[in-house]
């Protein structure tokens, strides 16, 4: 028997424990780089102690554990996967890493996702050059071109948000992972587009989201494809800019107006979801209706007034005032001004309503017609001189026109400025007032009697007169019978001798005796013959000649005078 069995038993027990421990270590076979599961034993200020069934506990830096709501997410008893970084440090403790275990597991998951084209989730953590940094267990790069379907200008809106991605590039050795969100969005869009195209039909009502706004309309995402909602199809009323009615991100209902399958273009309408207000215009705004409206815009020719939603009318400048010459509507109204108007005419086919403002006031032209009867003599100032006459001020805002043809009974006036200048005082006779066309007609020659009214008695056919040549022409000589009364001696009636030109026989300023052979009161022309005077003096038989000359004067002779006189200027005289 042994001398001291207790000591033997103790020694025997110690050796057995060491054998068992060493056996367990061999079973564990811990190696650097292995990932094992451990239990958190204690949480210190800088480190976390983790038991992995090794002869000593392992250390993990406290900053490898996440902070949630300001509290470090680790406590005693937690199970945690760790990577063996070193078997023992200088203190004989095993060094562990949770980050490296997470990264190894993440790389494995990412590698599998890349190979199988699986979708992974990640959180955008920062902006980097050319794109965004995404946490998917490890840091990955999301290029700017792969963030969305359209180029992204403001990347800040993505920070802190979680999205799904596809791995489009993976290199474990270089630690390079490139992600794409756009690839998933394109797949989703293509799927939605296929469904949308199957249900798309002209006239159908669909729901979409405002994707983009331009000056001419808005693009609506219908699900995989975009449609254009033009500004003119947003409202029956006037829309200055689409942003007045829509915001990016708004979900709206629209009607499909046109669908081009080949080009995959969709035209949309929003106003078409409501009744066209013009359908009731004729009943709502019959001519003569008085109402109020708001001036929405001005044009050179008038002002557009909003009468109701989608209904506008035009006040033409000519309908703004009875007396003012309105050159531009801004002289009378301004944009956003509320005005009273009366409906003049409704054209539903062309969607036009004619409005008036002056019709709400008494028509001064009616009073003018009563106050200024034809024959009334007025005196006023020449307000303006035009090519066709002069305007004389009658009352405030009312001018009367003296047409050039009413200047003189006898003078041929080439331009009104020959006789009148602006600002001079003149007398005139009222010829008439045209209420409908707002015209006040005056005459100056009517202040005197028409000298041609008694011309047949003064210068009867067959009477002889001493006349003075005022002008010569190829076809004859013009002569003055009295002030402003002229006649013509045709070249064939100048002399009994044969001549080649008028001035071979007589020149302007010379006098000659001639006999009246024709009178045309309507054309205000008198024909004379010096030849006939000579024949009478020689006591020749002139009866046949007179008959022939008189007959000629009524047809050929008169026509000849008329045609040739058209082209002759007689120094202001007719």
SS (H, E, C) 103-122: HHHHHHHHHHHHHHCCEEEE
Tokens read off for 479: 């002569």
Residue 112, domain member (yes or no): no
The CATH number that applies at residue 259 is 2.40.50.140
Print the domain residue range for 402.
364-447
* Judgement on whether residues 351 and 385 belong to the same structural domain of the protein: no
Q: Is 160 found in the same domain as 123?
A: yes
pLDDT digits (tens, 9 = 90+) for 268-291: 998 888 888 888 888 888 999 999
pLDDT beyond 90 at 452: no
Q: How many domains does the chain have?
A: 6
Position 546 in a domain: no
* Chosen domain end from 153, 186, 219: 186
| Strand bridging mode 94-97 / 58-61 | parallel
Q: Is 167 part of any domain?
A: yes
| 3-state SS, residue 573 | strand
Closest residue by Cα to residue 376 from 440, 435, 451: 440
Going by the DSSP 8-state scheme, the letter that residue 411 receives in this structure is B
Q: What percent of the chain has pLDDT over 90?
A: 23
Question: CA 391, CA 253: separation in Å to the nearest integer?
Answer: 61
145 or 68, greater pLDDT: 145
Are 236 and 311 within one domain? no
Look up the pTM and report it.
0.43
pLDDT of 9 above 60: no
Q: Tell me the mean pLDDT in the region 383-388.
A: 91
The answer to whether position 304 is within a domain reads yes
174-224 confidence digits (pLDDT tens):
668 888 888 888 877 776 666 666 667 788 888 888 988 999 999 988 876
Same domain, 217 and 262: yes
For residues 284 and 251, state if they share a domain: no
Give the mean pLDDT of 372-397: 89
> Predicted confidence band at 571 (pLDDT cuts at 50, 70, 90)?
very low
Asked whether residue 147 falls in the same domain as residue 168, the answer is: yes
Q: Round the average pLDDT of the chain to a whole number and report it.
A: 82
> Over the stretch 234-262, which tens digit does the pLDDT of each residue have?
888 778 899 988 998 888 889 888 888 77
Domain assignment of residue 412, yes or no = yes
pLDDT class of 484 with cuts at 50, 70, 90: confident
Residue that terminates a domain, selected from 273, 302, 322: 273
**CA proximity to 280, closest of 180, 205, 185, 353:** 353
Rounded distance, CA 113 to CA 120, Å? 7
Show Cβ contacts of residue 197 under 8 Å, excluding neighbours closer than 6 positions: 224, 225, 261, 264
Out of 186, 215, 231, pick the residue that ends a domain: 186
Identify whether 129 is part of a domain.
Answer: yes
| Same domain assignment for residues 264 and 286 | no
- Is there a domain that residue 1 lies in? no
Same domain, residue pair 408 and 442: yes
Better-predicted residue by pLDDT, 54 or 6: 54
Q: Note whether residue 226 is domain-resident.
A: yes
Pairing of strands 71-72, 67-68: antiparallel
Q: For residue 15, name the pLDDT band (cuts at 50, 70, 90).
A: low
Contact 255, 205 (CB under 8 A): yes
């Amino acid at each position: 028997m042994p001398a001291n069995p207790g000591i033997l038993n103790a020694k025997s027990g110690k050796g057995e424990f060491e054998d068992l421990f060493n056996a367990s270590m061999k079973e564990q076979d811990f190696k650097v780089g292995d990932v094992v599961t451990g239990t958190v034993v204690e949480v210190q200020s800088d480190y976390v102690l983790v038991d992995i069934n090794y002869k000593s506990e392992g250390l993990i830096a406290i900053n490898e554990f996440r902070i949630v709501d300001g509290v470090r997410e680790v406590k005693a008893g937690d199970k945690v996967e760790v990577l063996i970084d070193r078997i023992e440090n200088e203190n004989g403790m095993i060094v562990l890493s949770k980050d490296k275990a997470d990264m190894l597991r993440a790389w494995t998951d990412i590698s599998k996702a890349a190979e199988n084209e699986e979708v992974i989730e990640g959180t955008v953590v920062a902006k980097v050059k050319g794109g965004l940094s995404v946490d998917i267990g490890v840091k990955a790069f999301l290029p700017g071109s792969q963030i969305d379907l359209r180029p992204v200008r403001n990347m800040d809106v993505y920070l802190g948000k979680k999205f799904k991605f596809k791995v489009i590039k993976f290199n474990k050795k270089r630690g390079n992972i490139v992600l794409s969100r756009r690839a998933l969005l394109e797949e989703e869009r293509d799927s939605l587009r296929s469904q949308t195209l199957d249900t798309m039909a002209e006239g159908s009502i669909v729901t979409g989201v405002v994707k983009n706004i331009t000056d001419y309309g808005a693009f609506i995402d219908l699900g995989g494809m975009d449609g254009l909602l033009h500004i003119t199809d947003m409202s029956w009323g006037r829309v200055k800019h689409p942003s007045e009615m829509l915001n990016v991100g708004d979900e709206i209902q629209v009607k499909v107006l046109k669908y081009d399958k080949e080009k995959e273009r969709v035209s949309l309408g929003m106003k078409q979801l409501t009744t066209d207000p013009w359908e009731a215009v004729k009943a709502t705004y019959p001519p003569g209706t008085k109402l109020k409206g708001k001036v929405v815009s001005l044009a050179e020719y008038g002002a557009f007034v909003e009468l109701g939603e989608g209904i506008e009318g035009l006040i033409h400048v000519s309908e703004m005032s009875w007396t003012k010459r309105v050159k531009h509507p801004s002289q009378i109204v301004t944009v956003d001004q509320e005005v009273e108007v009366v409906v003049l005419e409704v054209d539903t086919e062309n969607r036009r309503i004619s409005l008036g403002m002056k019709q709400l006031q008494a028509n001064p032209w009616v009073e003018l017609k009563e106050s200024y009867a034809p024959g009334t003599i007025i005196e006023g100032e020449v307000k303006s001189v035009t090519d066709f006459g002069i305007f004389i001020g009658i009352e405030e805002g009312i001018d009367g026109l003296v047409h050039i043809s009413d200047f003189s009974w006898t003078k041929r006036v080439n331009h009104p400025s020959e006789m009148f200048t602006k600002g001079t005082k003149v007398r005139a006779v009222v010829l008439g007032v045209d209420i409908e066309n707002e015209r006040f007609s005056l005459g100056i020659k009517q202040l005197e009697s028409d000298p041609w009214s008694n011309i047949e008695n003064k210068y009867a056919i067959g009477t002889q007169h001493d006349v003075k040549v005022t002008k010569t022409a190829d076809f004859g000589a013009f002569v003055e019978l009295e002030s402003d009364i002229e006649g013509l001696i045709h070249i064939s009636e100048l002399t009994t001798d044969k001549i080649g030109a008028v001035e071979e026989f007589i020149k302007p300023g010379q006098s000659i005796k001639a006999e009246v052979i024709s009178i045309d009161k309507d054309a205000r022309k008198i024909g004379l013959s010096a030849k006939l005077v000579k024949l009478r003096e020689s006591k020749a038989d002139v009866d046949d000649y007179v008959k022939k000359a008189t007959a000629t004067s009524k047809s050929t002779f008169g026509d000849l005078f008329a045609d040739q006189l058209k082209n002759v200027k007689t120094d202001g005289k007719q």
